[in-house]
Every structure is written in structure tokens, then in C-alpha cells.
Amino acid sequence: MQPDHIEVPTLRRYLVPFDPKRVPHLFADVLIIGGGIAGTRAALEIDPSLRTIVVTKDRISHSNSAWAQGGIAGVLDPLDDFANHVADTIAAGKGMCDKDVVEFVIREAPERIRELIQYGADFDKVEGELALTLEGGHSHPRVAHALGDATGKEVMRAIHEAAFGADNVDIWQQTFTIDLLTREGVCCGALVWNPNHGRTFVWAKQTILCTGGAGAMYRETTNPSIATADGHALAFRAGCEVRDMEFMQFHPTVLYIAGSSRHLISEAVRGEGAHLVDCTGYRFMGDYNPEAMELAPRDVVSQAITQQMAKTSHPCVYLDLSHIADEKIRRRFPHIGKVCSEFGLDITKDRVPVRPGAHYMIGGITTDTEGATSLPGLWAAGEVTSTGLHGANRLASNSLLEGVVYGLRCGRNASNAALQQPDNFTAPPVSSRPGIPHHSDEALDLADIRNSLRSLMWRNIGISRNHRELESARQQLDFWANYVCRRDLMEPAGWELQNMMLVGRIMAAAALARQESRGVHLRSDFPETDEAAAKHISVTATDA
């Protein structure tokens, strides 16, 4: 019987002892952790009278949102309607979507897209109207895009300009959030660090977590290196419930060039008519989903590619665009064409080698329809959350939409809550984290452990899982955590590694608990879908 709820030890970290009296204490009305589309949209919704601080661990331009290629989905064509978009989202989610959440997010989409245009985002147009493309799992062309295949970059440029122009918003870049601060079961800010000022206590009336995803936990990924599940770990340590952590979505088509970094090849390439072929030139998707072919949902295509690679004993498959007009390809995919050309590939003629990679963390912090978490004073939006929109498999181009819809809601709700709170808040006494760290004269090779963890996640908690490999992963993560989390780690690389280990253990536990295959979660030892198991698995922390 599949459990509805499981518990995982928190992996309490031991920070280098410090004197809290020597650490600066700053106060904000609203603290936003993360500067992607959700965090930035939240900042723009805060009342101008409230001091807002946005903290990002890297440059604000460096986020999963900015890397989004395909676009943002919404009903913008008179021939389309909300019921179609809702039905497509629920079908992709494989029985795990919250229909009420899907309804209100989809219905807000057109207004949110028009709002992005008002902020200055320059979406592609055809004869003066928004250009809309078709992507896998969608029944109608409804994906608005910008700069051909660089939608996230253009959208983030526009709303970042607006945020930098807001007098009440301070943006702290290259500032790492070590932990959330709580007092009597209420979130009241965070402990942050940057290389210039060291640690700082940021006390806030309301806190919004928008830290993005976890793709960098995997050896093969479309995500930037900063996507290390920090927000998931922060919230979990602070006492938040997380759920659906077994559902990591793998993008079917990631450029596979041995020795190079991986690059996303947008879903829109298949939407415009590209074929998937194996190393023999055989177009194989008809063997797995003859109705939708290359436009099947992402979980279906990723699993088909993996099986075809195994059948052919070849490390990748190929995208073939040679039958599409050259001018159309160059106009529609300038960024992808440029990246491929650096490896001597002409996408108008050459087959493009691709394979799946970790792309989007569907699981996350449990939130309600307003963006509230189970920890009072803490809100969350974007990829760090589990809202019920995506179910067991995210429909293409619904992620930027979710970020902007929930970013707005969290910003509005946190703002209203902060306006009702008194201004005479004083910081409670703070002591350094208790515990006896393990000292050793031997320095840890953090990069080696991180690479080992990423390889372990790819092998054992990847596209296909089974009990033996999941249990092995859990034991290995426990072993690493036993000595890594008891070291005096003093920099972001160590804190990121601790976060990755904690979230890896949560993901392994959740994947072990779901004894069926559903959406992006494929259990080779439980290959069938159990209709009675269409329920969330929530995870909370135990002290250990």
C-alpha cells in the first residue's frame, strides 16, 4: 500500500561557530529569495511603501527562467479555448493535477502574457499578431515566444528592468541564503552570506521563496549549475512539507556532444515538424506513440528515446530538420542554430544528436492556491513549489506561466500581510547552530563528491528506477552525508552540496514509496499505473 506521507531526517548542518552579535542585522518588510520570473514578478507586486529585498545567489540574469527557450503557453488564438488548454494540462499530468488550480492558472494566462508585453517583453509576431507555435502535448498552437528561441531571456530582461527601476526594491546579487530564520514556528527572514560582507541576518515580516529547481543534481541536465535544490532544502529544514519529490521531468532533447556542456533543444523544434530518428535513420516514435509521434508528452518521448538508445546500443538519437524549409529554421531557431554551428552542425542539413536530460523539478514545497506554505510567514512560487498544476508530468511551456501567476499572487499576499504587521519588530536572540562538527586535517574534495552525487542521481534516480538502485542510492547518500554534513563548510560550494544531499535523500525516499509508474516516474519493477495510487506523497522532516 503506497503511503500518503513519509518522513526523512533533516541532516542538520553544523555551521562554523560565529558570534551573532558581530553579524549585521538588517530589516525588510518583504524578503524574496530568488530572482527568476516568480521572484521578480513577486517583487513588482509589493506595495511601494514596503522595503523589499531580493536575494539571488548568482547574477540576477542567471536563472532557469532566463534559459527557457520555447515560450509561455496561453489561450490567445480565437480558435483555441480554455477548456482545451485545461484538458491538455490534465492529460499530461496523468491523474495528479489539481483541477481547480489548473483552471485558474490557465484562465489567467492571457492577462499575464499581455502584462509581460506591457513590461516591455517583445514577443515574436506574424502580420502584427502574436506568433503562436505548437508543442508536445498541446492540441492547439498556443505557445507565445520571443527572439525565436530565447523567450526566457527576453521576458527576464523586461521584468528585471522594471524591478531595478522600483524605488522600494533592493536587489542583492551573488548572495547565498544559508538558512531560513524561524521564531515560534513562524518564518521571519533568512541568514545570508556574500563574499564581501560575510553573514547577515535579514529579518522580514514576510518571506517569499522562489529559488528554482534541482536539475544540477543530475549529470545530464538542461539547467545551469546554480539549480542545486537550495530552496527545497531551506524550506524542509525549516519545517515545511514538500511533496511529489519523485517527479523530476526529463527533457527529451538535449544536445549530446561528448565533452561539451549540454544544451537544450527546445520542444518547439519538434512542434515545427522535426523528426526523431535513431542511428540507422529510422523514425521510431511510431513504435511508441503512433497518434502523436514526436508531439507526445515529454515523459513518453523521453522514455521512448531511452528505450531506442538501448535497442541500438547507441548513446543518443537524432533530430532531423532537413525536410523543413531552411529559411524557416534559421528564423525560428537562431540560438539553437548558433550553438550547433559551434560544433560544426548545420541544423538545416545535419542530424542533431540528442538524448534526455534532467529539466524541471515538478515536486517541491506544498503550497495552497494563494502560494502559502505550511510554515506561517513563508510563501513560495515557481519551480521550488508543488502547486498541483503539473501533476506527474508538466505540459510544455506551462512553467513560465506558473511562475508569473504565482509570483504575482505571492507578492500580493505577502504585501498585504506585511502592511498589517507592526513596524516595531525586534530581532530575537540568536545563537550559532548547536552541535559538535567533525574536524579533520584532510580537506574534502567537494567537486569530486558533487560529481559523484550527480552521476549517482543519473544512474539510480533517473528516467528509469527500481527498488535495488533506489535503495543503493539512499545508502550511498546517507554515507556521504554522515561525514560531509559534519564538516566545517564555510562557502557556497559546501552548502550547495549539503542541500543536494538532503534533497537527493528525499527524492530517493519518495521514489521508493511510489510503487507504480506514473508520468515522469518510471519504476521498471512496477511498470503499471495503479489507479488507486493517484495521490500525493508528502514528506516532512524528522530530527536526526
Catalytic residue among 142, 298, 474, 505: 298
CB 486 within 8 A of CB 495: no
Tabulate helix, strand, coil % of the chain (nearest 5): 35, 20, 45
Query: Looking up cell 543536494, which residue turns up?
Result: 500
Per residue in 50-62, pLDDT (tens digit) is: 999 999 999 888 8
Grid coordinates representing 145 are: 515566444
pLDDT at 14: 53
pLDDT at 12: 63
CB 226 within 8 A of CB 500: no
pLDDT at 419: 97
The enclosing H or E element of 192 equals: strand 186-194
Per residue in 362-421, pLDDT (tens digit) is: 999 999 999 999 999 999 999 999 999 999 999 989 999 999 999 999 999 999 999 999
Q: At what angle do helices 467-484 and 492-513 cross, to 10 degrees?
A: 150
What type of residue is 124? D
Domains of the chain plus CATH, in order, are: 252-356 (3.90.700.10), 437-542 (1.20.58.100)
Grid coordinates representing 389 are: 498544476
pLDDT at 432: 55
In sequence order, what are the beta bridge partners of 176? 193
Distance between alpha carbon 371 and the CA centroid of its chain, in Å?
A: 16
The enclosing H or E element of 299 equals: helix 298-312
CB 488 within 8 A of CB 14: yes
Mark the ranges of the chain whose per-residue pLDDT is less than 50: 434-436
DSSP-derived letter for residue 204 is E
Rg of the chain on CA atoms, in Å: 23
Please indicate whether residue 243 is annotated as part of the active site: no
